[in-house]
Amino acid sequence: MTAVKLAWRNVFRHTRRTVITAAAISVGLSAMILMNSMMNGVDKLASQNIIDYETSHLEIFADGYYREEGVFPLDTIIDNPGLILKKIEQISNVKSVAPRVKFQASISNGIDELPVIGVGVDIKKEKEVFKIVNSVVKGSFLQHEGDVLIGKDLSRDMDLDIGSYLTIITKDRNGTYNAFDLTVSGIINTGHPLFDRNAALISIEQAQELLAIFDGVTELSVRVRDDRNLVRTKERLVQAVGKEYEVYTWRELNAAIFEISGFKRMAQFMIALVVVIIAAVGIINTMLMAVMERIPEIGTLKAMGFNNQGIVKMFVYEGGIIGIFGSLLGCLIGLLLSLYLVHFGIDMSAMFGNADIVYPMKFIIVGEIDYWTVLSVFLFGVFVSVFVTLWPVRKATRLQPVDALRHV
């Protein structure tokens, strides 16, 4: 208990030095928490956009389609989706299934022409699986054939509005170019760049006619009731649909995105770690100065019966107290900044405009706090502060009382 009291008094003997050292620790730790919250928020938003607009929880393709998905092959599609739809819907965890037809196309407003991804959707079932209908910011969702939904960014680029006419042009299954005149029925703003800037949604019947694929579809999107049992649900789907089809979870379809996320997390953590190491050097410097300034005191303590273990405890407690204050301050700052991100976010779209990014989201960063990470960062800060104190303490334990008292 005496060592704790002495450590407490010594820490606040040089208040300015203690505050500067603790502040250095807090900067690194707050950066760790803020970066973690940012990446959690980015991952959550990207994941939600993928599930709600792009793939849902699971997707089913004809065998071989996924390997060529980037070119949207029309010779490897699900020609008779009705044969397997009933089998899929009988799986206990399956909530609903929506067929889609995706294809390469271009749209023209009579003056300009832009490449897009055409998406044919089942008007009724689309609402049960995806949230496109909730993202309509102007006009209405698809009502009948001849309607087209386009994104807010695409409507701006093509100078289109509700009621505007456009022509969609694509090559059908037989290699023949087809074109349909469509009317813009609604404008969507999903937060997913693919749909807001590059997609044109039409009814699935019109897409099938445009591509000459009869009742064929390119994929079946499956929404589940409980995504915690996603792997098990996939296994059941594989058994139900057979070897003629491929089943993928949304994570498998977007593995590259989350692999990049892992690298970014590591890089950001390393940057914050460098700041913590710099702060640790500051603690070492503070402890070395404390040892040099208090050589006579150390000699007196040893002459009074303090052994090396007591001296070590005293300095370790000092490092620990500084670490606790610095870690608390860092966690508090990190939490406050993270809470701001959670409730308000940062809109960086004005800075980056329509630049392409890997993530299926726009430049709007919203935080997501992981309180276990906050606790881990706090303990890490205290541990580092205590650990780096051990080296300067070695000098104090080597002092002999007689030699130390000569400095009086």
134 lies in the same domain as 236: yes
Better-predicted residue by pLDDT, 392 or 53: 53
Do residues 106 and 123 touch, judged by C-beta distance below 8 A? no
133 lies in the same domain as 161: yes
- Token representation of residue 257: 């995105």
Q: Is 218 exposed, middle or buried (0-12, 13-18, 19+ CB in 10 A)?
A: buried
Does 353 score more than 70 pLDDT? no
- Of 194, 228, 252, which closes a domain? 252
Q: What values do phi and psi take at 326, rounded to 5? A: -65, -40
How does residue 299 score in pLDDT terms, banded at 50, 70 and 90? low
Does 402 score more than 70 pLDDT? no
User: Rounded CA gap, 226 and 239, in Å?
Assistant: 19
Please give the pLDDT value at position 349: 61
Does 355 score more than 60 pLDDT? no
- Token representation of residue 192: 């997913």
Better-predicted residue by pLDDT, 311 or 138: 138
292 lies in the same domain as 396: yes
234 lies in the same domain as 300: no
How does residue 126 score in pLDDT terms, banded at 50, 70 and 90? very high
Does 208 score more than 70 pLDDT? yes
Do residues 115 and 158 touch, judged by C-beta distance below 8 A? no
360 lies in the same domain as 394: yes
247 lies in the same domain as 267: no
- Token representation of residue 368: 């997501």
197 lies in the same domain as 236: yes
Residues spanned by the domain of 23:
2-49+257-405
231 lies in the same domain as 187: yes
- Number of domains present in the structure of the chain: 2
Question: Side chain identity at 385, as an amino acid letter?
Answer: S
Residues above pLDDT 90, as percent of the chain:
34
278 lies in the same domain as 339: yes
31 lies in the same domain as 168: no
Please give the pLDDT value at position 332: 94
Tell me if residue 52 falls in helix, strand or coil: helix
How does the average pLDDT of the chain come out, rounded?
A: 82
User: Rounded CA gap, 342 and 332, in Å?
Assistant: 15
How does residue 43 score in pLDDT terms, banded at 50, 70 and 90? confident
- Of 252, 280, 307, which closes a domain? 252
User: Rounded CA gap, 283 and 397, in Å?
Assistant: 18
398 Cβ contact partners less than 8 Å away, ≥ 6 residues apart:
none
Instruction: List the single range of 102-106, 114-118, 174-178, 352-356 with lowest mean pLDDT.
Output: 352-356
66 lies in the same domain as 160: yes
Please give the pLDDT value at position 314: 76
95 lies in the same domain as 204: yes
- Of 208, 223, 252, which closes a domain? 252
User: Rounded CA gap, 70 and 67, in Å?
Assistant: 8
Average pLDDT of the residues in 37-62: 88
